[in-house]
Amino acid sequence: MLITIWAVPVLYFNFSYPETEWNWDNIDTQDIHFPESFAWGTATAAHQVEGNNTNNNWYQWENGVNENNQPRIHNGETSSLASDHWNRYPDDIRLMNDLGVNHYRFSIEWSKIEPERGNFNIAAIKHYRDLCDSLLKSNIIPVVTLHHFTHPIWFENFGAFENKENIEYFIKYSEYVFNNLQDLVPIWCTINEPTVFVSQGYFNGIFPPGKKDPVLAATVLENLLNAHTKVYRHLKGLPGGSEAQIGLVKNIFQFDPLRRWHILDWVFSNVLNDVFTNSSLDFLKKGSSTFSMPGMVKKEMNNPDAVGALDFIGLNYYSRMHVKGRPSLSEPFLFEKREGDIQTDMDYALYPEGFYKALHTISTLGKPIYVTENGVADQGDSIRALFIKRYLYSLNRALKEGLDIRGYFYWTLMDNFEWAEGYKMKFGLYKVDFNTQERTLRKSSKLFIDMVKKRGADERGYLVSIGENAPDFTMDYTSGERVTLSQLKGQVVVLQFTASWCSVCRKEMPHLEKDVWKAFKDKGVVLIGVDRDEPLETVLQFQKEIGTTYPLALDPGAEIFGLFADKNSGVTRNVVIDQQGKIVFLTRLFEEKEYNQMIEVIKSLL
């Protein structure tokens, strides 16, 4: 009996939620390209970087003590001057330019904008306008978060998001900021990570207000999701609202069983995934969901207005937790590290596969996705390089599978005040010396820069464009002859990327034979079919079947193809290169109009 109660669900869970782990030895993490239009940015939050925030819930929290009369922040630290970003933002924008990013996500400090209820501070809003102006002048698009964990003391004293009546204050503040910045800011995040705010502030009690009350936690989550919905609807109705992209930022941390054969580990993992992620996503998808922790709280959340109240969804992803269930009422589960995992300085490991999974989970909302945060705490700079390679690979994999991912914001630009962990956690691409405020690029950050600066593929998968010099390479013809592209200078070269299994190529080839090869081969045109990654015999057989006479060359590993187009994109392409070695025309698939244009271009070169 026991065996059935145990084994059947465990088998079912193992089958329904398979472990996702890739063999990284077989993965080339460098073989990735992002679209030319992809947004690259870094992200920060006001309280963590600005300095001198002395009027919000976190200021009170950092400067108070816990029930044992001990400081609440690691090492008794306080945010104080933080990274002095309030004053140093012009320098920090230069640092962003050095990274090559074109977006910057930052948050507005509500307690500076509205230090007392209803009193809006003009100097503070002007500061953020200046910041946005400076960003735009440096070709960086500002992305604003309205609430990133902090709010004014007066709002906290009113009970903050514990009372649904207080949502009105958040709407008024948001309206003020939106009216003052909407002409400069195209992308808006309403609230950062509602479930992190709730779990840390109302469940674990390590963020303000330091409560441990599951029933209240559920109420606060419901109020935050409703606050998002109301702010979204309200801002959309303001001037500039319909043009703005407004979304919510959702953190996904997966909860996985530590022991995949243990029923309790599964039960608690499932409960945690439901309250942390699924309840919020359901709310946004269906306008209703249940927040349930058996024996503690069960709350139905309803708001039909929430359906569609998003222009995009922001995903913050770091890692997962391993859950160990226990037969104990006082502490029914624990989080434990799993042996063999690569640990970060936070209490979680690297889990790039989880990033890929989270992107798929968040995509079920059916909205465009921005990765609004992703980064690693790594004081010794020993795993950041691996982090960047593997997480960006995972991102790229999800993108290639067709998910609508528009951009990626690295967390974070420079070291900062990491909430309860204080200054110990080093998440920055730039290291900060907090005695001098000096910023230095970390060695591993070079990998991020390389990816940002790497040429993106266009929507047809091309890495090259018209007007640039063709990359040089050497190829072997099926005849055994070897040619280097640069040796062909002085002639017009048409590279036809093809393969024996490609039906569109087969359709196009007789036309190329007639209109290019036969017509122009004596007039200084070389046509070469470059066959994608097939052995000599296959290519010879292919040539025989098609009956074409122009030379075919081999392209093992699609290395030549990869110089011109993203290796993951398809063949049937012609690249026309002029007598000086410059690319003058690019085709994709066999489309009559484009094909005829190509013939005209070739003619005009002769």
Residues of this chain that bind ligand FCB (CB under 6 A): 45, 48, 192-193, 196, 251, 316, 373, 411, 418-419, 427
Cα angle for residues 156, 104, 192 (degrees, 5° grid): 30
Residue 46 tokens, joined: 């006001």
Query: Between 150 and 303, whose beta carbon lies closer to ligand FCB?
Result: 150
Q: Considering beta carbons, is residue 193 or 274 the nearer one to ligand FCB? A: 193
Nearer to ligand FCB, 149 or 542 (CB): 149
First and final C-alpha spacing in the chain: 85
Q: Are strands 288-293 and 245-257 parallel, antiparallel or unpaired?
A: unpaired
Q: How far is the CB of 202 from ligand FCB (least distance, A)?
A: 16
Residue 220 and residue 203 in contact, taking contact as beta carbons nearer than 8 Å? no
Nearer to ligand FCB, 197 or 356 (CB): 197
The least distance separating ligand FCB from the CB of residue 452, rounded to whole angstroms, comes to 20
Q: Which residues of 148-167 are buried (b: 16+ CB within 10 A; e: fewer)?
A: bbbbbbbbbebebbbeeebb
For residue 143, the minimal CB distance to ligand FCB (Å) is: 14
371 or 516: CB nearest ligand FCB: 371
Pull the structure tokens for residue 129. Answer: 């306008």
- Residue 40 or 419 having the CB closest to ligand FCB: 419
Closest approach of ligand FCB to the CB of residue 42, in Å: 12
Task: Kindly state the smallest distance separating residue 406's Cβ from ligand FCB, in Å.
Answer: 19
> Is the CA virtual torsion 60, 46, 392, 570 positive or negative?
positive
Closest separation between CB of residue 417 and ligand FCB, Å?
Answer: 9
Closest CA relative to residue 247, chosen from 404, 416, 113? 404
Q: Which is nearer to ligand FCB, 408 or 473 (CB)?
A: 408
301 phi/psi in degrees, rounded to 5: -110, 130
Residue with Cβ nearer ligand FCB (55 or 316): 316
The one-character DSSP state at 455 is P
Distance of closest approach, residue 348 Cβ to ligand FCB, in angstroms: 11
Min dist. Cβ of residue 201 to ligand FCB (A)? 12
Give, to the nearest 10 degrees, the angle between helix 214-236 and helix 167-181.
Answer: 40
Which residue reads 């991020």 in tokens?
448
Name the residue nearer to ligand FCB (CB basis): 414 or 528. Answer: 414
- Closest separation in Å from C-beta 107 to ligand FCB: 9
- With b for 16 or more beta-carbon neighbours within 10 A and e for fewer, the 179-200 pattern comes to ebbbebbebbbbbbbbbbbbbb
Would you call 441 helix, strand, or coil by DSSP? strand
Q: Which residue is nearest to ligand FCB (CB)?
A: 45
Distance CA 228, CA 209 (A): 20
